[in-house]
Amino acid sequence: MLNWAPLPRRLRNFMTLLAAMPIALTLVESANAEALRARAATLVRDGLGLDGAECLYVEGSGRWLGRDGDAAQFDCSDFSHPYAHVIRSGKALTLSVGDARTRLDHRAFQTQVARLAANKCLQVRPLRAIDGDQEWLGVLMMIGERDALTALNDEPGMAAFEALLCRLWARLSREQGERHRTRALRDSLAKLNDGARRQTLADQLAEDLLGQSMAMHTLRRQVVRAAETNLAVLLQGETGTGKDRVARALHQLSARSKGPFMAINCAAIPEALLESELFGHSKGAFSGADQAQEGLISQADGGTLFLDEVGDMPLALQAKLLRVLESGRYRPLGASEERCADLRIVSATHQPLREHIRAQQFRADLYYRLGQFPLTLPPLAERRDDIAQLAQSFITDFCQREERVEMGITPAALRLLHGRDYPGNVRELKNLIDYACAMTAQGTDIDAYVLPGELDNDAPVNTTLPTSGGAYALPDSIDDLRQALRDVESDIIRQRLLHFGGNRAQTAESLGLPKRTLAHKCQLLELDTK
């Protein structure tokens, strides 16, 4: 051992620094965070002559402490082991092995100290990144004599060692995370080339996303492609096109299918409550917060979070959501520390987000982050060939739900449905079918006369027909008299059939027509049941 005491102070400090260089080089040469932790523990144990040393790490969610090469985990909120005390307080803790055995009853911790002498001491020191978000990295646990461990509290060399360890640990963790994301993206792109398997999955999707039109074939193939990546998906399209069903299909086909699927409608929850619903809150965070509550982001950890009507999210929350997308980190309301969540976000909107961006009502950076994989759902007007299949599916659902005998639908009714406009898209069609099923007698098929007429959005039309006598309200302008008379006659017969529950004999008698004449008119006006 060299005696540097006679040397000037600056030179003595420099010589001390040179002596520490091999330690620093040993740490710097670590290939990954696990190797770094092992080398650091060995250097501390051998350099200080301790009985043992070990680095424990905080895993990705921030909830657990793990040990390299051991399946045991320590809950950071469980104070039956000393690591939780250190993580919560941010201060080193020193206690004797004897006290640890009698005061702390955590099973995994007791196994860890079972073979130690009772007169030895434990010291647990917090390890936290010193820059950026100052996230928790883990703890350093050392075993030795009390005097030796206590002396480390005021030792500048120990503080410098920990600072170097934390800086290298944080850097290696970031590099490992980047390599993991790169590898995941590469694997995702490789899956895109598996055409046969994707087609099989797309065919399976046809059971949930109904329709044999080209628009639906294209949509199902895009859903399969999106599900095989880790990209955020933005669903756009008119209201009633089935964005919620597509979101669930994305989750079920993804690698996260065994995880939770959580959904929230951003337009249906008041702005004051939306942040708490998403991020959660701690006890006492605001008036009425009598207990802590996990938000949907936490509940969706390991799975998928579906944000419906994301275009209605307030600007303040948009910034916080962007941070979750970029780093996976968030802070519950009233909490002092951040948490991590591993989840995929699928969002949906019928609003023109680009116009909202120009009006400064939606963040452009969030739009591009949400829309890594954009999907546009086709309106029903672009897939009219699917109306018959959709109608029969809705009829079957109604009969099962209402415990009715299975019914069908007449060609005349299908022709009427095919010619309608659907501003509400598939949802509007379903409501029409449910109404028609309810108005159809047991044992008969849905006929055209039970389907309600279309409403003019510009000027409400009085479709109420008199049961006897009276004038019929005609449109203000008529370009084709024959067609106008045909429409009036069709409406009168349809309403009268509806009034008599489809009984043609009573309908013919009420209109002063022979039954044969009524049947002929029903055929001409496409009100026939054949």
SS3 labels along 482-510: HHHHHHHHHHHHHHHHHHCCCCHHHHHHH
For the segment 390-406, the average pLDDT, to the nearest whole number, is 92
Provide the residue type at 444 as one letter.
T
Long-range contacts of range 438-443, CB-CB < 8 Å, 24 or more positions apart? 438/398, 439/498, 440/407, 441/501, 441/502, 442/404, 442/405, 443/405, 443/407
Residue 500, class by beta-carbon neighbours within 10 Å (0-12 exposed, 13-18 middle, 19+ buried)?
Answer: middle
Tokens matching residue 80: 């039956």
CATH, range 16-177: 3.30.450.40
In the prediction, which pLDDT does 14 show?
45
Are 122 and 113 spatial neighbours (Cβ–Cβ below 8 Å)? yes
Tokens matching residue 217: 């074939």
**At CA 221, angle to CA 215 and CA 222, rounded to 5?**
85
Higher pLDDT, 178 or 94: 94
**Weakest-pLDDT range from 147-151, 194-198, 259-263, 413-417:** 194-198
For the segment 114-142, the average pLDDT, to the nearest whole number, is 83
- For residues 215 and 380, give the distance between their C-alpha atoms in angstroms, rounded to a whole number: 10
The model carries a pTM of 0.55
326 pLDDT tier (thresholds 50, 70, 90)? confident
Q: Does 1 have pLDDT greater than 80?
A: no
Element (H, E) at 41: helix 33-48
Q: Does 467 have pLDDT greater than 70?
A: no
The b-or-e profile of 63-97 (16+ CB within 10 A means b, else e) is: bbbebeeeeeebebeeeebbbbebbeeeebbbbbb
In the prediction, which pLDDT does 23 show?
73
Q: Which of 60-69, 182-191, 225-234 has the highest mean pLDDT?
A: 225-234
Q: Does 335 have pLDDT greater than 60?
A: yes
For the segment 353-377, the average pLDDT, to the nearest whole number, is 93
In the prediction, which pLDDT does 515 show?
74
Tokens matching residue 71: 């399946």
Q: Does 339 have pLDDT greater than 80?
A: yes
- For residues 134 and 137, give the distance between their C-alpha atoms in angstroms, rounded to a whole number: 9
**CATH 1.10.8.60 boundaries in the chain:** 383-452
Q: Does 463 have pLDDT greater than 70?
A: no
- For residues 411 and 527, give the distance between their C-alpha atoms in angstroms, rounded to a whole number: 9
Mean pLDDT of the chain: 81
In the prediction, which pLDDT does 517 show?
74
In the prediction, which pLDDT does 469 show?
40
Q: Does 132 have pLDDT greater than 80?
A: no
In the prediction, which pLDDT does 457 show?
40
**CATH 3.40.50.300 boundaries in the chain:** 205-281+295-378
**CATH 3.30.450.40 boundaries in the chain:** 16-177
**Weakest-pLDDT range from 157-161, 322-326, 425-429, 488-492:** 488-492
For the segment 180-185, the average pLDDT, to the nearest whole number, is 63
Query: Positive or negative, the Cα torsion across 66, 70, 75, 79?
Result: negative
**Weakest-pLDDT range from 89-93, 174-178, 249-253:** 174-178
| Domain 383-452 classification at class level | mainly alpha
Give the residue from 68, 67, 65 showing the smallest Cα distance to 79. 65
192 pLDDT tier (thresholds 50, 70, 90)? low
What are residue 213's phi and psi, to 5 degrees?
-70, 160
Q: Does 465 have pLDDT greater than 50?
A: no
Taking phi over 0 as left and psi of -120 to 50 as alpha, with beta for the rest, 138 belongs to left
- For residues 458 and 94, give the distance between their C-alpha atoms in angstroms, rounded to a whole number: 79
Q: What is the DSSP string of 46-88?
A: HHHT-SEEEEEEE-TTSSEEEETTEEEEEETT-TTSHHHHHHH
Residue-wise pLDDT tens digits, 74-122: 888 888 888 888 888 888 899 998 888 888 888 888 888 888 888 899 9
Question: What percent of the chain is predicted at pLDDT more than 90?
Answer: 29
Q: Does 245 have pLDDT greater than 90?
A: yes
The torsion defined by the Cα of 85, 91, 97 and 102, in degrees rounded to 10, comes to -30
In the prediction, which pLDDT does 7 show?
47
Query: Positive or negative, the Cα torsion across 377, 381, 386, 390?
Result: positive
Bridge partners of residue 264, in order along the sequence: 307
Could you say which architecture CATH assigns to the domain 205-281+295-378? 3-Layer(aba) Sandwich (3.40)
Provide the residue type at 51 as one letter.
D
For the segment 274-287, the average pLDDT, to the nearest whole number, is 77
For the segment 394-419, the average pLDDT, to the nearest whole number, is 90
For the segment 362-390, the average pLDDT, to the nearest whole number, is 93
Provide the residue type at 144 as one letter.
G
Higher pLDDT, 8 or 350: 350
**CATH 1.10.10 boundaries in the chain:** 478-530
- For residues 204 and 291, give the distance between their C-alpha atoms in angstroms, rounded to a whole number: 44
CATH 1.10.10 describes domain 478-530: yes
Give the residue from 75, 140, 136, 137 showing the smallest Cα distance to 106. 75
In the prediction, which pLDDT does 475 show?
58
Helix ranges (DSSP H) in 359-410: 364-370, 387-402
Residues 6+ apart with CB under 8 A from 239: 350, 424, 425, 427
**Weakest-pLDDT range from 42-56, 369-383, 466-480, 501-515:** 466-480
Are 191 and 53 spatial neighbours (Cβ–Cβ below 8 Å)? no
